[in-house]
Structures are given as C-alpha cells and as structure tokens.
Amino acid sequence: MKDIIKKYEFKSKLKLEFEILDLSEIFETKKDMMTLPHRAQFYHILWIEEGKGTHFVDFEPITIENNSIICVPHNSVNKFDKDGVYKGKTILFTDSFFCKSTYDSQFLHSTRLFSDLYSVTKLKISPEVSGLQVILNAMETEYMRASDNTQYHILYNMLHVFLLQMEREMRNQGFVELKPSINLDYLFSFKNLLEKNFKTEKSVSNYALELGFSAKQLNKATTALLDKTPKQIIDERILLEAKRLLAHSSQSVKEIAYELGYDEPTNFIKYFRKHTNSTPSEFRDQF
C-alpha cells in the first residue's frame, strides 16, 4: 500500500475534544510530525505571539507574524514550517465538542473563520486592546481546572464567544463576507453535500435533486455569490483533492484516479490536464 496523506485524529483518551496547548512546546516535541503535510481531523486556532516563517494550508502560503491568529479548517492539508518560529497558544477542538445543535453546526460550517469560500483566515491583533486575550486567558484557566460537570458547558460557551469576537475583529479589519440570503443557504447546502460526495457524484442535476431544488436555482445562487457555476465548484473540489494527493502522497496516478471515482485513469489524466494545463505527473514533479 502506497503512503497516503497522514490523518491525525483528536486524542482519544481526553474527556473533552478540546485542548489549549503551548504552541512552541508542541512544535518542539512533535516537529517531525507537524512539518510533514497532514490532515488534522479537528479545527486549529493558532495564536502566534512571536513567530516567523511560512505556514501552509492547502497550498496557500501564510506569513507567520507576531501577534496574529491563523484559523486552520478541519481536514485541510496543513504543514508547519520546519525553520519557522511558533510561540504562543493553539486551541484545538472538534465538531463533536462544539456542535450541540443544528445552529452550532450551521455557524461553524458557515463562519468566515473556517469557510473554504474564502482564503485562510489570518488576523492581526493588538493584545493590549483586544478582548480576545481576556477570553483566551479565561478559557485556559477553566481548561486547567479539575474537570467537573460544568466544565464542558463553560468551555463551550467561552469558545463560542471567542469565535464571535474573532468575527467582530475581522469585520473591524475590513474583511468582506457574504451576506445572509436564500442564495447563501443554497450555496452552503450544496457545499456541504459536495464535501461528502465529490468522489462519487459529479453531476450538478443530481446534487440539485438531492438538495430539493432545481439546477437552475443552484446555478443562480453560485453565480450570484461567487461568479462560478456549480460545475466549476465541483471541478475545483475534485482538483484540490487531486493536487493534495499528487503533492503529498506516494499513491500512483492510477490509484488517485480510482480514489476520485474515475474508472479509467486516462479519463482522469485528460480531465486534470484540461483544467490545469499539466498532466498529473507533471504537477507532481513540481513537488
């Protein structure tokens, strides 16, 4: 079996799927693991008090700077800079920890902080004037307490306030986000279903049918908000996964083609070349 992209699950023995850790300590002790491309099956918030270098999330280079926050979405391919400096804190949590209700799930999967509709979130902060520092300190104090029946609820609420406060900071810094609308609801429903089925389903009409609205409505929503057709969005998701596997695994092109739902590897090669102007092998050679 060829090497595939490493997946790291949340620690199984912890009572809560939530941690606040010293960033420099875990970078030092787990550097060999963290500096290889990997998929973390949880969300990261990297609070960098002092840092330098370049952090990568799905091919997007992010400059590491003092007093900044980087939000790393669940399941993205993440790579730490082996020559970088990471001093600060990291908050780790899962869907299971945060999503107590449908509202929680909708919030977490649609927030500008972790959404793939935008570039990776990076915030510059001033700890002296930001309310985020106060909330982080309170969360860390609660996290370090002996566990009791109220700890989960306190940490959950603190994390929710922390995320909302980050959204406020983003708006204050001029980040643009899509306004709530029926089209945005259609888009999020489509993106969530696509994430589950992109390897096996590539038909716009079948997605629309399963979602319960017409392909015309779906096309109207995606073009209005992103200036992209549903087919373009499907193609982008397939190509992202193909690039992840080509760059960060040793699976053969044939194996990758089968994993992405192509019965004939030649069809995958033609598809990839049509959309990237290079063959899968040529793309892999760049890495």
Q: Are 21 and 10 in contact (CB under 8 A)?
A: no
Mark whether 250 and 163 lie in a shared domain: no
110 has a pLDDT exceeding 90? no
Give the range of the structural domain holding residue 118, as residue numbers without chain letter: 6-172
- Mean local confidence (pLDDT), 3-32: 85
Mark whether 216 and 93 lie in a shared domain: no
Mark whether 91 and 115 lie in a shared domain: yes
Q: Which residues contact 48 (CB under 8 A, 6 or more apart)?
A: 23, 64, 65, 66, 67, 68, 69, 70, 86, 87, 88
What local confidence, expressed as pLDDT, does residue 102 receive? 87
* Nearest alpha carbon to residue 44 among 25, 12, 20: 20
What local confidence, expressed as pLDDT, does residue 267 receive? 97
Mark whether 146 and 215 lie in a shared domain: no
Answer with the residue of higher pLDDT: 4 or 231: 231
What local confidence, expressed as pLDDT, does residue 109 receive? 85
Mean pLDDT lowest among 14-18, 189-193, 259-263: 14-18
- Summary mean pLDDT of the chain: 92
Mark whether 11 and 140 lie in a shared domain: yes
The owner of tokens 């945060």 is 98
- Reported as a single tens digit per residue, the pLDDT across 196-246 is 999 999 999 999 999 999 999 999 999 999 999 999 999 999 999 999 999
- Mean local confidence (pLDDT), 168-186: 90
What is the length of the chain?
287
What local confidence, expressed as pLDDT, does residue 283 receive? 95
Assigned domain for 177 exists: no
1 has a pLDDT exceeding 90? no
What local confidence, expressed as pLDDT, does residue 129 receive? 64
Structural domain tally of the chain? 2
- Mean local confidence (pLDDT), 23-35: 92
What local confidence, expressed as pLDDT, does residue 3 receive? 58
Mark whether 106 and 164 lie in a shared domain: yes
Measured N-to-C along each axis, helices 215-226 and 204-211 cross at an angle, to the nearest 10 degrees, of 100
What local confidence, expressed as pLDDT, does residue 176 receive? 84
CATH of the domain at 212: 1.10.10.60
Mark whether 228 and 200 lie in a shared domain: yes
CATH of the domain at 73: 2.60.120.280
What local confidence, expressed as pLDDT, does residue 177 receive? 86
- Reported as a single tens digit per residue, the pLDDT across 146-164 is 999 999 999 999 999 999 9
Mark whether 188 and 167 lie in a shared domain: no
C-beta neighbour count of 253 within 10 angstroms: 19
Mark whether 145 and 232 lie in a shared domain: no
87 has a pLDDT exceeding 90? yes
Mark whether 161 and 228 lie in a shared domain: no
